[in-house]
Copies of this chain bind each other. A is one copy, B any other.
Amino acid sequence: MRSYGQYCSVAKALDLVGDRWSLLIVRELLLRGRCRYTDLLRGLPGIATNLLADRLRELEQADILAREDAPPPIATALFRLTARGEQLAPIVRELGRWGAPLMAEPVGESAFRSQWLQLPVELFLSDQSPDRPPVQIELRTGDEPMTIRAGGGEVRANSGSAEDPDLVLTGTPQLVIGVISGRLRLRDATALGLKCDGDHRALARVRAVSGRAQTRA
């Protein structure tokens, strides 16, 4: 991308990460950590392979990510964020927060990857009862299951099923995200088709009233 040629830190930042796809590549690396080229390609549906290669080169030059020579068992290179790249997290987070109301519209033709659920989980959930025993909520939507684990004041989301879930939510990404972001109440979501097996109170454990997204776009 051409430089904006403006002596302003916003413009200088956009000179480095304002390119199409650049911040979405950073999103993938923030959510998943180290990735192979193919993992990125799959996590960024719609990107052309030559563009991914271009962007990775540019972001590497800008010291935002680094290419690692593989550890012995694997015969491939890995991409990871540098310290400077990790500092982009607040930007991606604020973009995600601002964009949250836009998720009210149905999925439609949009592609979906379950790892993207990590973002609303981090943004909108927190452990409301740190002293009570931990809970697990399994989310079944998109390509693979995700599990939310809350306990000791922390909430984390990881891919994979829960061993012994307190609650399992099954349905479209729109409904699951609506519930997580606080745009939908659980009862409204179930009325719209969300399947909900287990102890409903597990959800109250992690949903902060203060963290609710606005309903209106």
| Residue ranges of A at the interface with B (Cβ–Cβ < 8 Å) | 1, 4-16, 18, 20, 23-24, 27, 44-46, 63, 84, 87-88, 90-92, 94-100, 102-103, 107, 109-113, 116, 119-120, 173-174, 217
Q: In the complex, which residues of chain B have a beta carbon less than 8 angstroms from the beta carbon of A96?
A: 8-10, 13
Assuming A18-B20, A173-B7, is B12 touching A99 (CB within 8 A)? yes
Known: A5-B110, A87-B98, A90-B97; 12 extra A-B contacts, CB below 8 A, are A5-B111, A6-B24, A6-B110, A7-B112, A8-B27, A8-B99, A9-B120, A13-B96, A13-B102, A18-B23, A91-B94, A91-B98
Whether A4 contacts B18 by the Cβ 8 Å rule is: no
Q: In the complex, which residues of chain B have a beta carbon less than 8 angstroms from the beta carbon of A11?
A: 24, 99
28 A-B residue contacts at CB 8 Å?
Answer: A1-B20, A4-B46, A5-B45, A5-B109, A6-B110, A7-B103, A7-B111, A7-B112, A8-B99, A9-B95, A9-B99, A9-B100, A9-B102, A9-B103, A10-B27, A10-B95, A11-B24, A12-B103, A13-B96, A14-B23, A15-B102, A16-B99, A16-B102, A84-B217, A90-B94, A91-B94, A91-B95, A94-B94
Q: In whole Å, how far is A62's beta carbon from the nearest beta carbon of chain B? A: 9
Whether A6 contacts B91 by the Cβ 8 Å rule is: no
Assuming A5-B45, A7-B110, A8-B116, is B84 touching A88 (CB within 8 A)? no
* Docked CA distance A23–B9 (Å): 12
Whether A8 contacts B98 by the Cβ 8 Å rule is: no
Whether A23 contacts B10 by the Cβ 8 Å rule is: yes
Q: In the complex, which residues of chain B have a beta carbon less than 8 angstroms from the beta carbon of A9?
A: 95-100, 102-103, 119-120
Q: In the complex, which residues of chain B have a beta carbon less than 8 angstroms from the beta carbon of A24?
A: 4, 6, 10-11, 14
Q: In whole Å, how far is A144's beta carbon from the nearest beta carbon of chain B? A: 15
* Docked CA distance A96–B17 (Å): 12
Q: In the complex, which residues of chain B have a beta carbon less than 8 angstroms from the beta carbon of A120?
A: 9
The residue of chain B having its C-beta at the shortest distance from the C-beta of A106 within the complex is B7
